[in-house]
A and B are shown apart, each in its own frame.
Chain A
Amino acid sequence: MSDLLNAFAIAGKAFFGFQAIFFALLAVGLNVHFGYTGLLNFGQIAFAMVGGFGIAISVSQWGLPFWVGVLVGILAAVVLALLLGLPTLRLRADYLAIVTIAMSEGLRLVFRSVSATPVTGGTRGLSAFNGDFIALAPWDTQHRYHILGTTWSGGELWVALVGWVLVTLFSLLVWQLMRSPWGRVVKAIREDEDAVRALGKNVYAYKMQALVLGGVIGAFGGMVYAVNTGSAIPDQYQSANTFLAYAALILGGAARVLGPVIGSMILLFILQFADTGLRAMISNGVIPSELLSSTDVAQIRFVLVGIGLMLLLVFRPQGIFGDRREVMLDAR
């Protein structure tokens, strides 16, 4: 029982922790791409990577101030979106999916390569670039705080606070955009871009704007992650993260302003709860160790995410918030 409570508390922390913010920002960006514009971007993690490394490289390699690093991260995301969009936005959805995932893997390989080591730190990555930011916290960052049975360091709390402010701001931005004529065009592109072209809209430009916007939001996710962990390592930015963000988005409901946010929180809660719960049950002997060892737990979580993703799409494609009628209209 106490194990269960403990698992609940730890999962509760995950509900609000920086990883939920990370996935929320990735998924808010994906919501702009996929939920509203219909762009099947499977390379979202690359935006997070250039965001995180934007700060890391600027601060620890070039010695620039932290906020310049943030600007560099945003700029890098914009450039990446443009580079990616120029050749691929004319492609069909499935081609775009392949190219974006290829791009994100390619970029990660470049970042971790020996040739890039002088800049990115190679496989080892970079660290010690978040000091300026943590120092801004209005409370003692060394102290540990106990909130509802969970323990947070002052730094963690600070990152989480700023992170949730970011999530709120971006959600408001998306909300405002999607109720404007701009949002109408973008949603129409999701439905049928040729029809939108025939009505005199420059579809390419709109897709590009959406790609840049969602990419920059994703880059902020990467920054939050890097700042919280204090390190930026290329191998942290695996494409599986993009899939998890998709799972969060679909869980919460695509094309809903709050869908990706709530989806990420719930997803992280479930993942952490399953993780802690399973480990506890294994160490208690509730689950016989021949069946499952604690080393398997990390994998089990992905199996669960996979199953969840499949079941959601088949039985509740609208997610938690979506409107089933609306989703069923989806002709694709």
Chain B
Amino acid sequence: MPAEPAAHGAHAARPDEPPAGSAPASAGTEKAAPRRLAQAALRDLPWEIGVAKPDPTVVVDGVTRTFGGLTAVSVDHLEIQRGGITGLIGPNGAGKTTLFNLLTGFDQPDTGTWSFDGRSLGKLSPHQVARLGVVRTFQLTKALSRLTVLQNMLLGAQGQRGESFLRALVPGTWRRQETENTEKAMELLQRFKLDAKSDDFAGILSGGQRKLLEMARALMSDPQVVMLDEPMAGVNPALTQSLLGHVKDLREEGMTVIFVEHDMDVVRDISDWVVVMAAGRIIAEGPPESISQNKAVVDAYLGAHHDAPLTVDDEDRVLAEAEASIAREGHPDQGVISSDRPHPRRTDR
């Protein structure tokens, strides 16, 4: 059910724009249409921070989160276009994961409000957010090791009767639903090429397969907004391509995708809109093409690089590009962001 209204929303957002405006001539590729719609809707927007989107689904206002003295997130205004793929990039420690945590109720901000489809999410706990149709994946994959792949998938299904304590005792009440969910799960697993593994423990999957499983599991809940935290990290290049395909598929099914990624090629390839964070702030947003020309972005990556080495290899490429463009443009404006280097903080305990 969630997929349908989202798709509808994407259309409703721009009734005046002719769907053929940039649609491919080949009529058979009806699947490609939503992508073009979102892209088209975003095409004429100014490349400025906090710009209003034609049909926003997630709206963030004045959200800040500090850890001790460190401001991990400070976002004045951000809108996410419905039915589009929004890439969220930024150096390590920029606050991307923290922003995800805040939006999905896993963390509480110091200030600010944010909403999904006009509904404020501020007071909601993670599971309530998820039930509204906003699901996320985690940067460090959370495959449920000692459950089978199929059980992992089934867990994603919403509204299960057998998940209530009393009804669990009466199998008659949930058997049918379980069978339906299993069918759906197997279909999804097939799409993600995990069907052969369905009875294996998730713990024996490779890193890349876990990422796939986590994404497939999230899709079991028929979400409207999918937030993927570094879905490609640690995934081998062959799998990356298939993962990318899946992410594009999501958009074609009318879902809104927000994803964190470090590989600029990937970002350029699939996103309709890119948001750049550094030191907790949004320092730029715009279509993918605009980003590599953006001076603030270049500074951010360069500044971060000087202070703390980027761990993801892919970023070296971004950096090389950045330095090349600086060389072209002349002197870099240093010291603005570089001082806010990510502090390695105690975590995890």
List residues of chain A with CB under 8 Å of any chain B CB.
173, 176-177, 180-185, 187-188, 190-192, 194-203, 209, 213, 255, 325-326, 329-331
Contacts and interface: CB of A to CB of B under 8 A. Distances in A.
A330 B201 CA distance: 11
A330 B145 contact: yes
B52 interface: no
B47 interface: no
Given A182-B168, A188-B152, 13 more contacts: A181-B160, A181-B162, A181-B163, A182-B163, A184-B151, A184-B155, A184-B163, A187-B144, A199-B135, A199-B217, A202-B127, A329-B203, A330-B145
A177 B163 CA distance: 10
B174 A180 contact: yes
Interface of B: 104, 106, 125-128, 130-131, 135-138, 142, 144-147, 151-152, 154-156, 158, 160-165, 168-169, 171, 174, 178, 201, 203-204, 214, 217-218, 220-221
A3 B138 CA distance: 62
Contacts of A326: 146, 201
B163 A187 contact: no
A305 to B, nearest CB: 27
A198 B136 contact: yes
17 contacts: A177-B165, A181-B161, A184-B151, A184-B155, A184-B163, A188-B144, A188-B155, A191-B144, A197-B126, A198-B104, A198-B136, A199-B127, A199-B135, A202-B125, A209-B165, A329-B201, A330-B145
B144 A194 contact: no
A190 B144 CA distance: 9
A246 B128 CA distance: 35
A93 to B, nearest CB: 11
Contacts of A194: 106, 126, 138, 142
Contacts of B217: 199
Contacts of A325: 201
A190 B147 CA distance: 10
Contacts of B161: 181
Nearest to A209: B165
Contacts of B136: 198
